[in-house]
Structure formats: C-alpha cells, structure tokens
Amino acid sequence: MDFEYDAKTEDYRKRLLAFMDEHVYPAESSFHTDGWEPPAILASLKEAAKEAGLWNLFLPGEHGAGLTNLQYAPLAEITGRSPAVAPAALNCAAPDTGNMEVLAEFGTPEQQERWLKPLLAGEIRSAFAMTEPQVASSDATNIGTRIERDGDDYVINGRKFYITGAMNPNCKVFIVMGKTDPDAARHVQQSQILVPRDTPGLTVKRGMTVMGYTDGDHGGHAELIFENVRVPATNLIGVEGGGFAISQARLGPGRIHHCMRLIGMAERALELMCTRALARTTFGKTLAEQGVIQDWIAESRVRVEQARLLVLKAAWLMDTVGNKGAHTEIQAIKIVVPSAVEWILDKAIQTHGAAGLSQDTPLAGLWASARMLRLADGPDEVHKRSLAHRELKRYRSGS
C-alpha cells in the first residue's frame, strides 16, 4: 500500500475541508431538529455541495464520482467529523448510499429511472427494511416477512423494526427483505423488493429513539407494518432467492463507510478533549498536566491510528481483490472501530465533565452514534463468530 494521497484524492480533500469550514460547521447549531422534518438549512447545503463538485462521492462507476474505496476513505473520514450534517449535505448518507449501490448494481433500467435517478439527484430519500422485532435479524436467514407471488404482483406481510430513515417525510421508497420461498435452501429463501411509501397496507407505526435521541437528523428510525401490501412483480430486485446475496453485497461497503466516518468522529473527539484539557484547571494544574488525562490522550491517538490503518487496508483490498477477498478485514474493522471510537468519546466526555453530556458539545450525540454502530450492520459478537470460524477453518484437518 502507498499511504500518500494521489492527486485526485488530495484535490477532493482540499475542497471538502474548505466546504466543512465554510458550510458544515457553521450549520451545526441550526441543523438539529426535534421532529422528523429535514432541517431547513439542508437544501442550501446540498446546493452548495453540488456547486463545489462534492456530490455522490461514495459511488464508484458512472453514477458517482468514480472514486475507489481507498480514495473515498479520507473523504468519508472528514465528513465523519460532523456526521449528522456533512454526509446528508453531500448525498453520502446511509441508508441511501447502500440503496443506491443496490439499484446501480442490481436494478433494472426501469427501477433505476424511477428510483435511482431521483436518489442520485438528492430529490428523495429511501430506507432499507430488513430487521424485525420477533427474530434475531443479525442472522438474515431468520427474516420472517413473507413476499408471495400472486399473478403479476407480489403481496408482502410482516413487521419491520428500527428502519433507518423511515421517519423522514422525503423517504419515498423502501427496499424490503422478505422470504419468497421458505422451503428453499437457507440462503436462497429471501428476496428484495421495492415498496413505495404510499402503497396501501404499509403503515409507519411509530418512530423509535436511539439512546433517547429521535435521531431526526438522520431521518429517524421506525417500526413498519406490512399488511397485504401489493406491488407489481417488476418491483423485485434481481431474481427470486437473490435477497441474501444482495444484502451481503450491500452491507460490505456500508460497513466500511461507517468505519471511515467513525475515524473522523474520533479525531474530532480527540481534538475537543485536548482543547478542553488545556483550558481547564483543577487542583492547581490544567487537566492536560494530569497523568490520567495524558494517558487518555495518548491512548486515543494510538487507537485512532490503529483503526485508520485497518480501515485503509480493508479499502485497498476491496479495490484490489474485491469485497469477498476483503471479508476478513471488513469484519475486523466492524469489530474494532466502533468500540475504539466509543472508548475515545467516553474519555472526551469525561474530560468535559457535565458539559460533555449536554447539548453544548457534539460529544453525547457522537457517543450514541458510535454505540449504535456496535449493533448496526451486525453486532460485534456475530462478526467475531464469523471471523473465528474462518480462522479456525485454516487449522481444521482436511481444510
């Protein structure tokens, strides 16, 4: 690996850093919302991002900026310094990113025209409806929602839970994961299908909080009910039984994007910790002179550097040998990075005292996001289980 940014990446970095200073950081104080409506300032931020050429940076190929994972990593890290504002402003926010990737790779021309095109333009939002309250959804083969063929339509029945982005009124379409053939082999029972928000039988039952936050800045999270929801068979993404494979293709990039942004969250937390430590005095010394604070600062820097190196390695492997070849590293970063960043945020909060819990710093919200990401896209324990199985396989007799 070459750790020097190439000319294209460096150009994007300079423009993005300037955009953060000029537009994103000044917008933070007025961006947050107590409800589900997008903050009013978001529209102008998106226009500014388009004018600056900082749009759809996450998406390779013809539909996006054409960046590799390794080129996008330092840019996503920068946006992670303000994760509620910057990704949304640049049209690089989950779950739209993963949904656009799915539609770009697996969607029909008609599906791309109706849904991908407005998503790429930032005109609508979307959600990915996979997890369910009655089953352990970290094992996607558990999904119980039924998608049954009926003539020229599919009929959907089920209940979904913690569906990110669903409370945003601009969320116009759901990609729904469900079972089309419960009797098929375990990994080909599932399919994915497009369900417009206004389809009869689809009910957004309630918004759900994260650590007490509505998380409205990210479009919120919702519980959904599907009662005889009927959509055309042409809304199926890919083929029947292809849902599990599509979800794996979707989650790989999603996991690394989260980890890239987490590095930026950690850098901002460390910056705030150092600034606070130098400004506050206790027992005749600044906090920066206290050994325990110095230990936290040093340990934070080490953890950031370790996490970043592993994320960059995963990005490099995804570019060179593909997502499947980078499977071990993708799982490793999903285990390591949220936990490391959660620890750093905890120490930054502790350094700030009660102020670290308040709305006067971004730390409490960042901590809630980092803690959530130890569950989102698969909990730590599931990734550890899979990683251990792969490691043990190398030593089993006959393997």
Interval 50-83: pLDDT, tens: 999 999 999 987 888 899 999 999 999 999 999 9
CB 104 within 8 A of CB 61: yes
Cβ neighbours for 387, distance < 8 A, ≥ 6 positions apart: 328, 331, 332, 335
CB 271 within 8 A of CB 304: no
Q: Which amino acid is at 179?
A: K
Q: Are residues 177 and 264 in the same domain?
A: no
In a domain, 1, yes or no: no
Q: Which amino acid is at 73?
A: A
Cα separation of 314 and 320, whole Å?
10
pLDDT score of 250: 81
In a domain, 399, yes or no: no
pLDDT score of 335: 96
In a domain, 141, yes or no: yes
Q: Are residues 145 and 162 in the same domain?
A: yes
Task: Label each residue of 181-235 as H, E or C.
Answer: CCCCCHHHCEEEEEEECCCCCEEEEEEECECCECCHHHCCEEEEEEEEEEEEHHH
Residue 376: pLDDT above 80? yes
pLDDT score of 166: 95
259-304 pLDDT, tens digit per residue, is: 999 999 999 999 999 999 999 999 999 999 999 999 999 999 999 9
pTM score of the predicted model? 0.94
The least confident of 215-219, 252-256, 319-323 is 215-219
CA atoms lying within 13 Å on the CB side of residue 57: 32
Q: Are residues 328 and 282 in the same domain?
A: yes
Nearest to 35 by CA among 160, 169, 128: 169
Cα separation of 27 and 350, whole Å?
26
Percent of the chain with pLDDT over 70: 98
Tell me which of 71, 93, 118 is where a domain ends: 118
Tell me which of 176, 209, 241 is where a domain ends: 241
pLDDT score of 397: 72
In a domain, 208, yes or no: yes
Residue 352: pLDDT above 60? yes
| Environment class of 29 (CB within 10 Å of its CB; exposed 0-12, middle 13-18, buried 19+) | exposed
Report the number of distinct structural domains present in the chain. Answer: 3
Indicate the pLDDT class of residue 398, thresholds 50, 70 and 90: low
- Which 3 state secondary structure label does DSSP give 108? coil
Would you say the C-alpha torsion 186, 189, 194, 195 has a positive or negative sign? Answer: negative
pLDDT (average), residues 243-272: 91
153-181 pLDDT, tens digit per residue, is: 999 999 999 999 999 999 999 999 999 99
Q: Are residues 177 and 229 in the same domain?
A: yes
In a domain, 398, yes or no: no
In a domain, 2, yes or no: no
Nearest to 219 by CA among 362, 28, 35, 45: 35
What DSSP element (H or E) covers 159?
strand 153-164
Cross-strand pairs, 282: 285
Indicate the pLDDT class of residue 37, thresholds 50, 70 and 90: confident
In a domain, 359, yes or no: yes
Nearest to 305 by CA among 258, 331, 341, 335: 341
pLDDT score of 45: 97
Average of per-residue pLDDT values in the chain: 94
Residue 218: pLDDT above 80? no
The least confident of 212-216, 231-235, 253-257, 392-396 is 212-216
Cβ neighbours for 40, distance < 8 A, ≥ 6 positions apart: none
Q: Are residues 138 and 108 in the same domain?
A: no
DSSP codes joined into one string, 242-283: -HHHHHHHHHHHHHHHHHHHHHHHHHHHHHHHHHHHHH-EET
Cross-strand pairs, 230: 155
Q: Are residues 174 and 227 in the same domain?
A: yes
In a domain, 78, yes or no: yes
Q: Are residues 231 and 248 in the same domain?
A: no
CATH number, domain at 160? 2.40.110.10
379-391 pLDDT, tens digit per residue, is: 999 999 999 999 9
Name the packing angle between helices 243-279 and 69-79 (round to 10°). 50
pLDDT (average), residues 23-28: 96
Tell me which of 226, 241, 256 is where a domain ends: 241
Query: Which residue segment(s) compose the domain that 346 sits in?
Result: 244-393
pLDDT score of 188: 96
Q: Are residues 234 and 132 in the same domain?
A: yes
pLDDT score of 217: 66
- The token duo for 33 is 């919302």
pLDDT score of 61: 78
CATH number, domain at 93? 1.10.540.10
Q: Are residues 385 and 251 in the same domain?
A: yes
pLDDT (average), residues 225-236: 98
Cβ neighbours for 86, distance < 8 A, ≥ 6 positions apart: 20, 24, 78, 79, 80, 92
Q: Are residues 269 and 309 in the same domain?
A: yes
Task: Label each residue of 272-288 as H, E or C.
Answer: HHHHHHHHCEECCEEHH
Q: Are residues 108 and 131 in the same domain?
A: no
pLDDT score of 399: 52
- Which 3 state secondary structure label does DSSP give 238? coil
CATH number, domain at 273? 1.20.140.10
CB 337 within 8 A of CB 330: no
Residue 1: pLDDT above 80? no
Q: Are residues 292 and 369 in the same domain?
A: yes
